[in-house]
């Protein structure tokens, strides 16, 4: 991706984070001094500085050269979905805890902004996931996009019968509490907690991780991202839920299936320092600390 001249900056803040509103105002003031225009989603609550332009989410994605995310990884996941399919570079600033995706600390923010505005950065592309809900007629009734994962789970406290098909071939039928389909970026999220593998985030593969399968023979699978995975299910309650990135939930009805594959577009993240993923992993997971 060609680095663009940055004159129009969007900001996606999470005002629920401590100090975020104060830092947001400081960033707006700093960008004003750099003669960069600032825009936010029109849904952002509260009074904002007069220089900040409010735009509908779709217009915001079309009109900015950079999106600065102020929050944690959850805030960044929501921002990545909101931008799709526009490949606007994202600079994530960590107000949260672990911060796998938002790698810039608050203390590094203005140095990072200065470096980014002068073009001293690289772009890292992260795969997005496209997830469709298929009705009984085989046609999609909803399509969602996610950066981390899509989770199918039973609506109550029971288990569900799952049939997993990858690349048009039935892999198997089994009982489980659910199924996670994750991107390499999402390999360090829910999939990891469910026993899935950790993948370098630029790998061109997807992960299928069963949630508490009721047989020891079923294990997480890694398969090429050009393949499509389909999950058919049935359960006593007659309904289940699809959860994308842990943030968007849709109810599924008996007879519906989910189909997931690599999305046509990727998310683009600003990289300011050349650090190995394994170095980041060691630091975030405190291996050998």
> pLDDT by residue (tens digit) across 157-215?
678 999 999 999 999 999 999 999 999 999 999 999 999 999 999 999 999 999 999 98
Handedness of CA 192, 198, 202, 207 (dihedral sign): negative
pLDDT given for residue 206 in this prediction: 98
Enter the pTM of the model: 0.93
Asked: is 8-121+272-284 a CATH 3.40.50.10330 domain? The reply is yes
Mean pLDDT of 115-124: 94
Domain ranges in the chain with CATH number 2.60.200.30:
129-264
Backbone angles phi, psi at 235, to 5 degrees: -155, 165
pLDDT given for residue 275 in this prediction: 79
Selected residue with higher pLDDT from 95 and 243 = 243
Q: pLDDT tens across 23-70, in order? A: 999 999 999 999 999 999 999 988 898 899 999 999 999 999 999 999
* The two three-digit tokens of residue 139, written as one number: 């046609």
* Percent share of the chain, pLDDT over 70: 98
Note if 103 is an active site residue: no
Query: Buried b / exposed e across 117-150, counting CB within 10 Å, b at 16+?
Result: beeebebbebbbbbbbbbeeeeeeeeebbbbbbb
CB-based contact 268:90 (threshold 8 Å) = yes
* pLDDT above 90 for 155: no
Nearest CA to 53 out of 169, 15, 86, 62 is that of 62
* pLDDT above 90 for 283: no
Burial of 63 (0-12, 13-18, 19+ CB in 10 A): middle
The 8-class DSSP code of residue 106 comes to G
Omega of the bond leading into 85 within 30 degrees of 0 (cis): yes
- Among residues 32, 43, 50, 73, the one annotated as catalytic is 73
Query: What CATH number does the domain located at 129-264 have?
Result: 2.60.200.30
Angle of CA points 122, 12, 280, to nearest 5°: 45
Long-range pairs for 31-34: beta carbons < 8 A, 24 or more residues apart: 31/113, 34/117
Domain ranges in the chain with CATH number 3.40.50.10330:
8-121+272-284
pLDDT given for residue 3 in this prediction: 62
**68 pairs with which residues across the strands?**
11, 91
Selected residue with higher pLDDT from 128 and 157 = 128
Nearest CA to 46 out of 20, 23, 15 is that of 15
How many CA atoms does the CB half-sphere of 237 hold within 13 Å? Answer: 14
pLDDT given for residue 120 in this prediction: 92
- Longest distance between any two alpha carbons in the chain, whole Å: 61
pLDDT given for residue 191 in this prediction: 98
Interatomic CA distance for residues 133 and 249, integer angstroms? 12
* Percent share of the chain, pLDDT over 90: 79
Interatomic CA distance for residues 97 and 273, integer angstroms? 20
Query: For strand 221-224 and strand 205-211, is the pairing parallel, antiparallel, or unpaired?
Result: antiparallel
CB-based contact 69:79 (threshold 8 Å) = yes
pLDDT given for residue 163 in this prediction: 97
* The two three-digit tokens of residue 111, written as one number: 């140095």
CB-based contact 93:79 (threshold 8 Å) = no
CB-based contact 213:174 (threshold 8 Å) = yes
Q: Give the three-state DSSP class for 62.
A: helix
pLDDT given for residue 167 in this prediction: 97
């Amino acid at each position: 991706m060609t680095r663009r001249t940055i004159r129009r900056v969007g900001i996606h803040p999470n005002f629920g984070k401590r100090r975020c509103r104060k830092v947001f105002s400081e960033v707006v003031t700093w960008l004003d001094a750099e003669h960069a225009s600032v825009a936010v989603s029109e849904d952002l609550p509260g009074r904002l500085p007069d220089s900040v332009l409010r735009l509908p989410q779709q217009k915001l994605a079309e009109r900015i050269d950079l999106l600065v995310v102020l929050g944690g990884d959850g805030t960044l996941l929501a921002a990545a979905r909101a931008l799709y399919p526009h490949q606007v570079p994202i600079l994530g600033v960590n107000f949260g805890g672990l911060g796998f995706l938002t790698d810039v600390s608050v203390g590094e923010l203005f140095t990072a902004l200065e470096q980014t505005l002068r073009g001293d950065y690289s772009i890292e592309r992260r795969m997005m996931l496209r997830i469709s809900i298929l009705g009984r007629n085989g046609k999609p009734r909803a399509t969602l996009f996610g950066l981390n994962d899509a989770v199918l789970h039973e609506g109550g406290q029971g288990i569900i019968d799952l049939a997993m098909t990858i690349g048009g071939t039935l892999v198997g039928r089994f009982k489980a509490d659910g199924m996670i389909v994750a991107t390499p970026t999402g390999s360090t999220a829910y999939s990891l907690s469910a026993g899935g593998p950790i993948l370098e985030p630029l790998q061109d593969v997807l992960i299928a991780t069963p949630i508490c399968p009721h047989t020891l023979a079923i294990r997480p699978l890694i398969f090429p991202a050009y393949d499509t995975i389909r999950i058919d299910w049935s359960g006593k309650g007659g309904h289940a839920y699809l959860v994308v990135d842990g943030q968007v939930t849709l109810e599924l009805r008996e007879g519906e299936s989910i189909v997931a594959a690599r999305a046509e577009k990727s998310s683009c993240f600003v990289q300011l320092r050349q650090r190995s993923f394994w170095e980041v992993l060691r630091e975030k997971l405190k291996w050998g600390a």
